[in-house]
Amino acid sequence: MKKRALLLAGILLFCGLSPAMAASYPSRSIQFLIGWDIGGGSDQAGRTLCAKAEKYLGQPFAIQNLPAGSGAKAYMAIAGAKPDGYTIGLTTSTISTLKPLGRIPVGSEDFEHVILFNSDPGGIWVHTDAPWKSLGEFLAYAKANPERVSVAASTPGSITRFQMMALEQEGGVRFRVLSQQGGAANGLTNLAGRHIDAAMGTPLEGYALYTAGKIRPLGFCSEERVPMMADVPTWKEQGIDVALSTARTVIAPKGTPKEVIDTLYEAFRKVVTDPEYSKSMEAKGSNVHALTPEETRQFLREQDARFAALIRNTGAK
Amino acid sequence: MPTLLAAFSDVIHPWMTGIIFFGTFVGILVGALPGLSATLGVAILLPVTYYLSPAEGLLLLLGIYTGGIYGGSIAAILLNIPGCPASLMTTLDGYPLSRRGEGGRAIGIATVSSFIGGTVGVLALIFISTLLARAALSFGPAEYALLAFFGLSAIVVVVAKSVLKGFISACIGLMLATVGMDPLVSVERFSYGNFDLLGGINYIPVVIGLFGLCEVFTQALETRQAAAVRQVVRRVFPSGDDLKTILRNSFHPCWIGTLIGALPGAGGSIASIISYNRAMASDTNPERFGTGITEGLVASETANNAAVGGAMVPLLTLGIPGSSVTAVLLGAMLMHNITPGPMLYVNNPHMVYVIFIGMVMANVAMLVLGIAGAKIFPRVVNLPRTALLPVIALLCIIGAYAMSSSYTDVVIMILSGLFGFMLKQLGIPAGPLILGLILGPIAESNFRGAMELSDGSLSIFIRSPLSCGILALTMLLLASPLIRRLIAKPNRPAKAERR
């Protein structure tokens, strides 16, 4: 009798334990992995998000940068972490490219999704003194000089590289490509020193050199114009039917309890819907979103399909 | 002008001055502890700045940055362990000095050199930043590649005793540098499926292992044989003669350090390597370098602190961070809704002046704290080795782990320590290995990038006057042993006798 009571108590305790644990989440600091270098666009986005979310979660974030392979190292680390909500991290759209490219064995379906909170369109920039006034003029020149016009972009597999490849395909041109290991921002610096003809980069990355009068954008590959540079037409307006942004989400290891995901989502949602936050991000040319975990999963499913097709078409693999 | 005065009165306020001194003090500590670098110090204290005003936060971080780069020299001089990568070249002449019991004098010289370099770097930032930014932008892939080759050519002279052994060491470093993602086509190389190695072998744990842990092993064996050298600290502020040597030799390190610091992707460590090389290339008797001479110490320490001011140039004038520390600073500025870049001078000149004056103050703080500390630091070496060595070994492990909280880095550090000990027994110097590991990736990605741009033509390396200049300097350095031999021919018998 005593034994059975003990067993019952044990079962009850066990059943009662997991919701109780989730209710007290988070009880210690949360490790947040970012697969890009300190100071880059993704690092900025992730750090700002975490700094403001601490207030709502009551626990600090321990941010760790694992820059390698356009996020590959961080994705692998998150995939292998304990699904208890104490190790989460940032993704960009490379979560949809690295698996089809054969770089890593995990893709978006191997994670739990918390929120899609930000997206940045790509763009192509030239030196302020360059002769080309529009994307059309630039492409015409590139067509007349195949593989002689140099363009900087991140390494293969990255989103800026895909944007450049899509531009080559749609515009019917071939560039001479300069790969930039550290991210697109380095290419823009090379452009400012006139070592190359053009460079790929998001509004966020190019804005500082743009205001310094060193470089100017020929167009952004977004559906609508970038508000802070409203006089710059999109690629679509200039006859290049490409709209390709990088979307940033927060992911957790597969199997993380739903209660934990919801707690995190609620905290991050409060951050990104704060008008002060969205205003400061939009001033830097970044778009703010607050997709729920389910919407995020849906978005990534579509994105996976889009990039899988792109990889097949461009022969990037 | 009124803004400048307002900024000046803000910074001179006791609270602000206190913050700068505190930051610099923390920086020196972090820098002096092997493995804990200025980048780490700035990153760790970054969250603290949320609770401070933007100006206070930035001054705190700038103090840590300035102090951290200098602090590295203390461990380099006393323990032969570069406290941070920027003080790698300081070990070459600093440690021999402290082995002779002149650690206090060496720290004094390093402090004054760092102060001169740091101050000149800040002055350059204040007065010629636009010019410097333009100069920095003129470095394209070809120029970066040549700069890295110039840095690598140091092996010929650093190890005048045996060029072959130096060459072997550098080649090992270059081979280690090929591990990880290919820089251009991002294909895995030599990582054997280990995702921790995707980003390549981080040079910081290797530096800690090759110098720090290896030194522990070496000294542990030495204790039985010889008593430690006792550090005699009579005076710490450099004597008149030393001051003269410092002033005479600090001109070139100042401009080299400032310029290299301003180059995105380079920084204090590369500045001191290049500066040391230049000092050797132009010396009539380069063999003296590495034996504990003031000139070598000045070349390294002045340049790495001048690079601090230089590194702020692209951040403030172009809004692009050129190094890992300035990237964290950029983050701190963005947190406080300050967007660095040319518009900052227009929109928020007060903040710009606060940064300028704060950096000058941080250098003063570094001088004061450094000279005060130079009396105390050398005593560390007088501690019984049975106490000192385990502490250093522990610091090595913490330092290797702290950089990216990775156990792989700790394993790399320990393996490097064992490997370094083996190299030492074979008489192969570890310095060139580190040079290869630091400069290898820069040389590789930029050389290949330049070749892509020129469609495979080497002519890109002589297309600009800048690259021709670096090429000429490299040739001079490489040819110097030959030239020396030609000049020294008549003295040969005397030389043989000495051996």
Give the up-direction half-sphere exposure of residue B395: CA atoms within 13 A in the CB hemisphere. 26
Q: Are residues A186 and A205 in the same domain?
A: yes
**B199 to chain A, closest Cα gap in Å:** 5
B199, amino acid identity? G
Helices (H), chain A: 2-23, 41-57, 72-79, 135-144, 159-171, 184-192, 203-211, 258-272, 275-283, 293-314
Using DSSP's 3-state secondary structure scheme, residue B396 falls into helix
DSSP B52-93: S-HHHHHHHHHHHHHHHHHHHHHHHHHHS--SSGGGTTHHHH
Evaluate whether residue B491 is within a structural domain.
Answer: no
- pLDDT at site A90: 92
| B187 to chain A: closest CA residue | A103
pLDDT tens by residue, A161-218 = 889 999 998 999 999 999 887 667 788 989 999 999 999 998 888 888 888 899 999 9
Backbone angles phi, psi at A30, to 5 degrees: -105, 130
Which of A221, A238, A255 terminates a domain? The answer is: A238
- What is the rounded CA–CA span in Å between residue B386 and residue B439? 36
Evaluate whether residue B313 is within a structural domain.
Answer: yes
Q: Are residues A131 and A224 in the same domain?
A: yes
Q: Are residues A177 and A71 in the same domain?
A: no
For A192, which of B137, B337, B445 is closest by C-beta distance?
Answer: B137
| A43 to chain B: closest CA residue | B331
- pLDDT at site B493: 47
**A212 to chain B, closest Cα gap in Å:** 6
Evaluate whether residue B395 is within a structural domain.
Answer: yes
Evaluate whether residue A21 is within a structural domain.
Answer: no
Stretch 139-168 of chain A: residues touching chain B, C-beta under 8 Å: 147, 150, 155-157
- What is the rounded CA–CA span in Å between residue B122 and residue B45? 23
Evaluate whether residue A290 is within a structural domain.
Answer: yes
- pLDDT at site B490: 56
**Structural element, H or E, at residue B489:** none
Question: Is the per-residue pLDDT at B290 higher than 90?
Answer: no
Evaluate whether residue B419 is within a structural domain.
Answer: yes
Question: Is the per-residue pLDDT at B495 higher than 70?
Answer: no
Nearest CA among B494, B490, B481 for reference residue B162:
B481
Is A76 an interface residue toward B (CB < 8 Å)? yes
Backbone angles phi, psi at A278, to 5 degrees: -65, -35
Query: Which chain B residues are within 8 Å of A194, Cβ to Cβ?
Result: 137
Stretch 143-182 of chain B: residues touching chain A, C-beta under 8 Å: 180-181
Q: Return the residue in A32, A38, A162, A196 with the most chain B beta carbons within 10 A, the one to mutate for interface testing.
A: A38
Say if the Cβ atoms of B318 and A192 lie within 8 Å. yes
Say if the Cβ atoms of A155 and B186 lie within 8 Å. yes
**B336 to chain A, closest Cα gap in Å:** 10
Which residue shows structure tokens 């040969």? B492
Report percent pLDDT > 70 for chain B: 92
- pLDDT at site A19: 42
Say if the Cβ atoms of B453 and A150 lie within 8 Å. yes
**Structural element, H or E, at residue B222:** helix B214-225
List the strands of the sheet with A176-180, edge to edge: A176-180, A150-154, A198-200, A123-127, A215-220
- Which one has a higher pLDDT value, A36 or B467? B467
Q: Where does residue B406 fall: left (phi above 0), alpha (psi -120 to 50 degrees), or beta otherwise? A: beta
Q: Do A199 and A151 meet the contact criterion of CB atoms below 8 Å apart?
A: yes
Evaluate whether residue A71 is within a structural domain.
Answer: yes
- pLDDT at site A15: 45
For A179, which of B185, B198, B327 is closest by C-beta distance?
Answer: B185
How many CB atoms are located within 10 Å of the residue B283 CB?
18
Say if the Cβ atoms of B318 and A176 lie within 8 Å. no
pLDDT tens by residue, B82-116 = 888 888 889 989 999 988 888 889 999 999 999 99
For B404, which of A66, A190, A284 is closest by C-beta distance?
Answer: A66
Is B54 an interface residue toward A (CB < 8 Å)? no
| Cis amide prior to B441 (ω within 30 degrees) | no
Q: Where does residue A164 fall: left (phi above 0), alpha (psi -120 to 50 degrees), or beta otherwise? A: alpha
Structural domains counted in chain B: 1
Structural domains counted in chain A: 2
Q: Are residues A231 and A209 in the same domain?
A: yes
Range of the domain at B96: 2-233+241-486
Which of A190, A222, A238 terminates a domain? The answer is: A238
Q: What is the ipTM of this complex?
A: 0.82
- What is the rounded CA–CA span in Å between residue A57 and residue A268? 9
Range of the domain at A217: 123-238
Evaluate whether residue B342 is within a structural domain.
Answer: yes
Q: Are residues A165 and A108 in the same domain?
A: no
For B453, which of A43, A66, A178 is closest by C-beta distance?
Answer: A178
Q: Are residues A55 and A190 in the same domain?
A: no
- Write the CATH number for A81: 3.40.190.150
Q: Please give the sequence-ordered ranges of beta strands (E in DSSP) within B333-477, or none if there are none.
A: none
Q: Are residues A192 and A165 in the same domain?
A: yes
Please provide the average confidence, as pLDDT, over all residues in chain B. 85
Which of A215, A238, A261 terminates a domain? The answer is: A238
Is B338 an interface residue toward A (CB < 8 Å)? no
What is the dihedral sign for C-alpha A132, A133, A137, A143? Answer: positive
Average pLDDT on B192-213 reads 84
Nearest CA among B188, B117, B160 for reference residue B359:
B117
- pLDDT at site A234: 94
- What is the rounded CA–CA span in Å between residue A297 and residue A249? 10
Say if the Cβ atoms of B195 and A76 lie within 8 Å. yes
pLDDT tens by residue, B295-313 = 999 999 999 999 999 999 9
Q: Do B34 and B394 meet the contact criterion of CB atoms below 8 Å apart?
A: no
Query: Which chain B residues are within 8 Å of A39, Cβ to Cβ?
Result: 321, 324, 326-328, 330-331
Q: How far does CA A102 lie from the centroid of its chain?
A: 19
- Count the residues in chain A: 317
For A72, which of B138, B198, B449 is closest by C-beta distance?
Answer: B198
Using DSSP's 3-state secondary structure scheme, residue A172 falls into coil
- Write the CATH number for A158: 3.40.190.10
Q: Please give the sequence-ordered ranges of beta strands (E in DSSP) within B200-275, or none if there are none.
A: none
A237, amino acid identity? E
Q: Are residues A129 and A233 in the same domain?
A: yes
**A73 to chain B, closest Cα gap in Å:** 6
pLDDT tens by residue, A282-307 = 877 788 888 888 898 999 988 888 88
Evaluate whether residue B325 is within a structural domain.
Answer: yes
Say if the Cβ atoms of A209 and B320 lie within 8 Å. yes
Q: Are residues A147 and A210 in the same domain?
A: yes
Which residue shows structure tokens 């763009």? A123
Is B340 an interface residue toward A (CB < 8 Å)? yes
How many CB atoms are located within 10 Å of the residue B408 CB?
17
Output the six-digit token pair for A216: 């100017």
The parts of chain A modelled with pLDDT lower than 70 are 1-23, 38-40, 182-183, 315-317
Q: Are residues A183 and A42 in the same domain?
A: no
Helices (H), B100-213: 103-127, 129-137, 141-152, 154-158, 163-176, 203-207
Q: Do A181 and B442 meet the contact criterion of CB atoms below 8 Å apart?
A: no
Going by their DSSP bridges, the two strands A111-121 and A245-253 should be labelled as antiparallel
Report percent pLDDT > 90 for chain B: 32
A142, amino acid identity? A
Backbone angles phi, psi at A217, to 5 degrees: -85, 145
Going by their DSSP bridges, the two strands A198-200 and A176-180 should be labelled as unpaired
Question: Is the per-residue pLDDT at B3 higher than 90?
Answer: no
| A49 to chain B: closest CA residue | B335
Using DSSP's 3-state secondary structure scheme, residue A87 falls into strand
User: Residue B175's pLDDT band (boundaries 50, 70, 90)?
Assistant: very high
DSSP B317: I
- pLDDT at site A145: 94
Q: Return the residue in B137, B186, B344 with the most chain A beta carbons within 10 A, the one to mutate for interface testing.
A: B186
